[in-house]
Structure 1
């Protein structure tokens, strides 16, 4: 019996009273609604002719960003509420808590039943299926980084839970995982650094029933891009700012209703909230080698005027530095999940594929290559979990995330390459998913922003 069906009625939402009181338990309870809907049975794609990003991928023209919803302005400008830090358990223990394990088991099944079957079609269409986005919303993933007091599902800082969820989703497909997690990155940023006004204005949309498409945009189409030397600028103008520049790797840019844009302000990188439909915003498809299911776009900002209340966080770069680190941590988790998908797939393949009357796994060269994948993957996982654990407790994790990113970028690409090699000629064709995972894994060392824990 699948986990989705096992959560059907038996008490409130089929969960125990403790679980219904717990924030993560409430998130898992949402799966009951998901199981009773037809989302799991429908893995379809919107018609390509109806997708703005797909049409711009073919034709290469720019369009204005969508005129999104009107976010209700709150009246206060005081500092917002920050998520509480988790307390240290006093031991070196990277095992997930009971609640985290419960959440991950649900996301694992979502990845297996929705993301994996729809990944190839989404990669071809350069857009995520509506069903995947709706399922992620049903589970409350956009609010995973938002504290319970602000309408989210977490009582404490949730970098560890976020890393586990990102890893589980990426086992289904990294591109679709990025598309599903992108709105949550914006919500998490507002939860961490937003003023009371910003939180009251925007967070209700991310914790309600109709979550907007949103994107965290740091990367730029620059050779050897450095996230701390941005070409996009923010100039003070009266009581606001004027933004100019081009951002790349913007997830679902044509659909997004809210952007968090990184720009250079007085020589220091800063973050700004920019609503879709603002004058001077244009979006253009930015198709890439990998992550095609995330519908990547370029965002052009030409004289975009925003108010003083659009500044997210501080002006000394502290919030921005943490944003970059949390984003890199998320990419490490995605690399671990995709690497695990490669390992699981090639293990079965080399045991079933026969040559000269025996499975090719009997050849030492093949067996050692699979063993190397498993060893490197475990190292990647441990470094990522350790960095996430320190972030969860509010401790400095710059060193840990730097080590994790270096290892995940280097070994993640090698795992993808070895997966293709182990399949031989089959690794080169789209009949098998390993070629797509290889393309996706190459993004880990290049991407900045987009997702965040």
Structure 2
């Protein structure tokens, strides 16, 4: 179905049109084959970058697209409706550019046109094998040695691990807790930066995460982003925006599942009638459509707060929580609408169902989102007393 969008400018409308053209012509026809083979779509991402879609929410002066977040998220939604791995790649790359864009010094900011221009792909190294949700307890350590930081440790679940051209490394340069964490920017060819074998994942098989081992990796001292000890703050601010990206991916994936289920329900007949005419199926489709619209509205409302420079962290957590839980429900129901046909790979709803699960986990599990929201509520209640 056609989504009725309210876009802020004519330029934004043209950008969405270009995105749909690329998504229909370059992404949709290739997704199933790449996913089945488990091949990372690096050339496809170069095409996306050359179209200017890898740096959309950053200023044009820095090499970005100069688009508000509410437009960028709708671009992600369109991409996700055709191929989630590509949309997630764009979201993670955008996340990976944030440290330099927001905290980089003058010399580092000169790198932004290369980071945002589309030829380079980024990765964000925060989670570790022993702790993903408890990021403040990370143990990867960087020790200063002359003009370098020497990094030792292991990062886990790194999207674009082994594929990225640059890596943000969140590591401990000081004592325990958040105040001991700094952020380093490393090139992929840094000696001692060792990507491991990709994980064998349930979904997103064309873009599986991998561990990154740092075995005395030497990162130049001038590649520390921001002041020493502010890395945790950088990481959390990046995740606030990244959660909106994942929410938009969830909306796009769910929209694709709904559209496929509606088409199938109009063509598949039982007892002499299209199955969509039966209330049991029709009401299921109605609930799916309503949940998608609600998730889209919640996500864009949070994006507009961000665009206005207002606090949006709690609203981003709500959007990520609701949209990704919604995508899991909607893809499950899409499989149910198709019945046995939905359980086989002949129809893409089987793949979308598997892919939806990871969205409840990445950029902070949905249990972490509930913690963020509940703490904001209790802090607000205490402040009002």
Q: Equivalences for 1:173-192 in 2 at 5 Å?
A: 173-192=83-102
- Contact 1:248–1:286 (CA under 8 A) maintained in structure 2: no
Give the Å deviation of 1:195. 1.2
Partner of 1:204: 113
Residues 245 and 369 of structure 1: CA distance in aligned 2, closer, same or farther (over 3 Å):
farther
**Structure 2 residue aligned with 1:248, among 151, 156, 162?**
156
Residues 355 and 225 of structure 1: CA distance in aligned 2, closer, same or farther (over 3 Å):
same
Residue segments in structure 2 that go unaligned for 5+ positions in a row: 365-385
Deviations 1:346-403 (A, max 9, x none): 1111111111211111221211111111111111111111111111222110110111
**Structure 2 residue aligned with 1:435, among 350, 375, 385?**
350
In structure 1, C-alpha distance between the alignment counterparts of 2:244 and 2:42, rounded to whole Å:
27
SS of residue matched to 1:141 = coil
**Structure 1 residue aligned with 2:128, among 211, 215, 220?**
220
Partner of 1:163: 73
**Structure 1 residue aligned with 2:61, among 149, 152, 168?**
149
TM-score where L is the length of structure 1: 0.72
In structure 1, C-alpha distance between the alignment counterparts of 2:264 and 2:154, rounded to whole Å:
43
In structure 1, C-alpha distance between the alignment counterparts of 2:293 and 2:164, rounded to whole Å:
36
Moved more, 223-232 or 418-427: 223-232
- Contact 1:234–1:241 (CA under 8 A) maintained in structure 2: yes
In structure 2, C-alpha distance between the alignment counterparts of 1:96 and 1:292, rounded to whole Å:
35
Q: Equivalences for 1:198-347 in 2 at 5 Å?
A: 198-200=108-110, 202-208=111-117, 211-222=119-130, 225-237=133-145, 240-266=148-174, 267-268=177-178, 269-284=181-196, 285-314=198-227, 315-316=229-230, 317-347=232-262
- Contact 2:295–2:319 (CA under 8 A) maintained in structure 1: yes
Partner of 1:82: none
Work out whether 1:351 is the aligned partner of 2:240.
no
- Contact 1:336–1:408 (CA under 8 A) maintained in structure 2: yes
Give the Å deviation of 1:125. 2.2
CA RMSD, aligned part only?
A: 2.3
- Contact 1:282–1:301 (CA under 8 A) maintained in structure 2: yes
**Structure 1 residue aligned with 2:323, among 400, 408, 415?**
408
- Contact 2:91–2:242 (CA under 8 A) maintained in structure 1: no
Partner of 1:17: none
In structure 2, C-alpha distance between the alignment counterparts of 1:228 and 1:344, rounded to whole Å:
41
- Contact 2:261–2:337 (CA under 8 A) maintained in structure 1: yes
Moved more, 176-185 or 393-402: 176-185
Deviations 1:274-295 (A, max 9, x none): 1112222111212311112224
In structure 2, C-alpha distance between the alignment counterparts of 1:446 and 1:261, rounded to whole Å:
20
SS of residue matched to 1:262 = strand
Q: Paired residues, what number? A: 353
Give the Å deviation of 1:404. 0.8
Give the Å deviation of 1:240. 4.5
In structure 2, C-alpha distance between the alignment counterparts of 1:425 and 1:373, rounded to whole Å:
19
In structure 2, C-alpha distance between the alignment counterparts of 1:206 and 1:238, rounded to whole Å:
27
- Contact 2:201–2:208 (CA under 8 A) maintained in structure 1: no
Work out which structure has the larger RCO, using CA pairs closer than 8 Å and 6 or more positions apart in sequence: 1
In structure 2, C-alpha distance between the alignment counterparts of 1:356 and 1:229, rounded to whole Å:
60
SS of residue matched to 1:109 = helix
* Structure number having the greater helix percentage: 2
TM-score where L is the length of structure 2: 0.84
